[in-house]
Structure 1
Amino acid sequence: MKTGIIGEGAIGRYVADALASRGLGPHVILTRSGPTGTAPGGVTRVRSADDLPGDLALMIDCAGHAALAQHGPAILSRGIDLVTVSLGALADPALETALTEAARRGRAQLHLASGAIGALDALRAARVGGLTEVTYTGRKPPKGWKGSPAEDRLDLDMLETAATHFEGTARDAATTYPKNANVAAAVALAGAGFEATQVRLIADPAVTANIHEIHATGAFGQFHFRIEGHALPDNPRSSALAAMSAVAAIERHIAPVAT
């Protein structure tokens, strides 16, 4: 099976290395910079979805919301399945519609990687019976919020105590913090939806990990889930588990028994 990757950032590099170690490619990298064409190692670099080879079976989006919006519909329309970690992009109703229609035209499927959070299977199951409340709290060290709107609301370099810099719906969180709030979108998509999922984002100098918490209640009962995740070594804004979840999604896609 031929695979390709969108993006060569921290997550893209992790996924590429993982694919190579499993003998799964990548065969193509869709990138916005650097030389194009086939390198000595056999990896082809292209600029557009139109330039992807016809026998490609699966693309993995590791490049963020803008890349998913730019390339996702064209990839799906060509009948190529797509895995993405950019779940926050689906907070845009127009893009969600475009991706859905493209997948139907191409008879392809968009796979949503779980990203930096767990317990989404429980949320999906609980949604069947009805959810009454879902809240997500994201807590990171101040440096983890660098490059986000948190810089406009807090002095991240001088912060001495935990401070909340966002409270609102998952849709607002995902659109306002496109590089930081994919987890909020993942929780919303698995559970109660973008408008019904409440989000709180916190900068906390007392923590060293990225902490994600979900609280949900419904006909099933209630649960509270907490995970403390590390960032990738070369990017404090990229979750190691998010990169791992993309690889796990690929493994499920090709496995004879999907767990």
Structure 2
Amino acid sequence: MLRVGIIGFGTIGKDVAQYIFENKAGNVALISILVRDLGRIESEYPKELFVDEPDQFFNQNLDIIVEGAGHHAVQLYAERALRSGSDFIVSSVGAFNDQTLMDTIMGAAAESGTKLIVPSAAVGGLDRIAAGAVGPLDEITLKTSKPPKAWMGTIVEQQVNLQELTEPVCVFEGNARESSRRFPESVNVSAALSLAGIGLDQTKVQVFVDPHINKNVHEIFASGKFGEIRLQIQNTPSPNNPKTGYIVAMSIAKVLKNLSTNLMIGL
């Protein structure tokens, strides 16, 4: 049985914990959850699961650590997790728009014999994209569209009036490195797609606010020696955090199941 720790107890952390306790994440045991402030935690789970001291968290012989707390958590803890002997599942993949950070983390993984694991999360087709990249790939484009409520509290509020929007508006067009930097909570999919394919600087991205939709929509096009792929994903937003969707935690649970059981699907 694999020993699992979670960093963060927001939308993703709570859902991953629930899937583990419901035995939907394979042969794993949830050992610890690292939070910022124990005094703010309200949960039906045992209190001893929660810690707010990183030293205590990382000294529990964890096999796998799941990050569900944003870019800053990746910057603070990814290297430490890998050097502690734990594999690291990252949901905030957009943090790797910082190439120095990426190089440091990959160096730590190589030196420690551990793995940095990027789940499909909100995007789909990463297995096909990664396979096609052997070929090589010629082009990857991503169009991300989300309803206005998903952009509240982000930089997009400075660009458009979300309350009065009546038609779709493109709020960004560029590459994946810049999109993941500009929208750290909302376009992590562009970074995941880039790591699977042709890189952050070559992956083209458009970002839309669309008042006519109620799901987070990602449209992918890739071409190369393998052929072409056109894929549209519609994710149901989490009611607690419309910037992300249910599928992110589900995807992490699937990774845990792959790593802890004898049947591996979709690698």
- Consecutive unaligned residues of structure 1, counting only runs of 5 or more, are none
Name 2:107's counterpart in structure 1. 101
Distance 1:207 1:40, change over 3 A: closer
Are the equivalent residues in 2 in contact too, given 1:162–1:204 (CA < 8 A)?
A: yes
1:116 to 119, 122, 130: 122
Name 1:13's counterpart in structure 2. 14
- TM-score normalised by the chain length of structure 1: 0.94
**1:69 alignment partner, SS class:** helix
Matches within 5 A, 1:189-208: 189-208=195-214
1:257, 1:49 → 2: CA distance? 34
Distance 1:151 1:97, change over 3 A: same
- Please say if 1:34 is aligned against 2:38: yes
2:87, 2:229 → 1: CA distance? 33
2:142 to 136, 147, 161: 136
Are the equivalent residues in 2 in contact too, given 1:10–1:235 (CA < 8 A)?
A: yes
**2:12 alignment partner, SS class:** helix
How far off is 1:202 after superposition? 0.2
Q: Deviations over 1:25-61 (max 9, x none)?
A: 321011111259xx85541413315642342111111
Are the equivalent residues in 2 in contact too, given 1:165–1:201 (CA < 8 A)?
A: yes
2:193, 2:179 → 1: CA distance? 12
**1:231 alignment partner, SS class:** coil
What is the percentage of aligned positions where both structures have the same residue?
A: 32
Give the 4+ runs in structure 1 shifted more than 6 A. none
Q: Deviations over 1:212-235 (max 9, x none)?
A: 010111112212100111011211
Name 1:167's counterpart in structure 2. 173
- Consecutive unaligned residues of structure 2, counting only runs of 5 or more, are none
2:119, 2:186 → 1: CA distance? 15
**Structure 1, 191-200 or 103-112: larger mean CA deviation:** 103-112
How far off is 1:102 after superposition? 1.3
Q: Deviations over 1:155-206 (max 9, x none)?
A: 1111010000000000000011100010111111111110110000000000
- Number of equivalenced pairs: 257
Name 1:239's counterpart in structure 2. 245
**1:238 alignment partner, SS class:** coil
More strand by share: 1
1:125, 1:49 → 2: CA distance? 39
How far off is 1:24 after superposition? 3.1
Q: Deviations over 1:80-114 (max 9, x none)?
A: 11111111111110110111111122211111111
Are the equivalent residues in 1 in contact too, given 2:90–2:116 (CA < 8 A)?
A: yes
**1:175 alignment partner, SS class:** helix
Name 1:2's counterpart in structure 2. 3
2:50, 2:234 → 1: CA distance? 37
Name 1:53's counterpart in structure 2. 59
1:189, 1:50 → 2: CA distance? 32
